[in-house]
Amino acid sequence: KAGVTQTPRYLIKTRGQQVTLSCSPISGHRSVSWYQQTPGQGLQFLFEYFSETQRNKGNFPGRFSGRQFSNSRSEMNVSTLELGDSALYLCASSSTGQSNEQFFGPGTRLTVL
């Protein structure tokens, strides 16, 4: 089975721009979660989608949003980028919403200049 894939792997943007990141979960997995990793804050949960519905959301401003499609692929969007949004964004998938085993993709490294 192919693993979790994330595109693009690297992105450079400037302040004020917006960005969309994509995640394709493992085939058959219906839950997709997003995490932000920074040196200062560590790994923080952004949101989780299951069957196209956002079921859980972390403590991030409304500039961070996401969605999930019928094929379980997910996108996250960050609008009005700030320097502090520079981070590694990780996507994880699991088979069901209650499954506690999450499989991570390689991440998208976002740099905001």
Partner 1 sequence: GNSVTQMEGPVTLSEEAFLTINCTYTATGYPSLFWYVQYPGEGLQLLLKATKADDKGSNKGFEATYRKETTSFHLEKGSVQVSDSAVYFCALFKTGANNLFFGTGTRLTVIP
Structure tokens belonging to residue 100 = 């506690």
Neighbours of 37 (CB within 10 A): 14
Taking the complex as a whole, the smallest distance from the CB of residue 11 to partner 1 amounts, in Å, to 15
Taking the complex as a whole, the smallest distance from the CB of residue 16 to partner 1 amounts, in Å, to 28
Q: Tell me: does residue 48 bind partner 1 (CB under 8 A).
A: yes
**Beta strands in 14-83, from DSSP E residues, in sequence order:** 19-24, 31-38, 42-50, 53-57, 64-68, 74-78
**How far from each other are the two terminal CA atoms of the chain, in whole angstroms?**
37
Q: Tell me: does residue 32 bind partner 1 (CB under 8 A).
A: no
Taking the complex as a whole, the smallest distance from the CB of residue 20 to partner 1 amounts, in Å, to 19
Using CB under 8 A as the criterion, which residues of the chain lie in contact with partner 1 when the complex forms?
A: 4, 6, 31, 33, 35, 42-43, 45, 48, 50, 55-56, 58, 90, 92, 97-98, 100-107
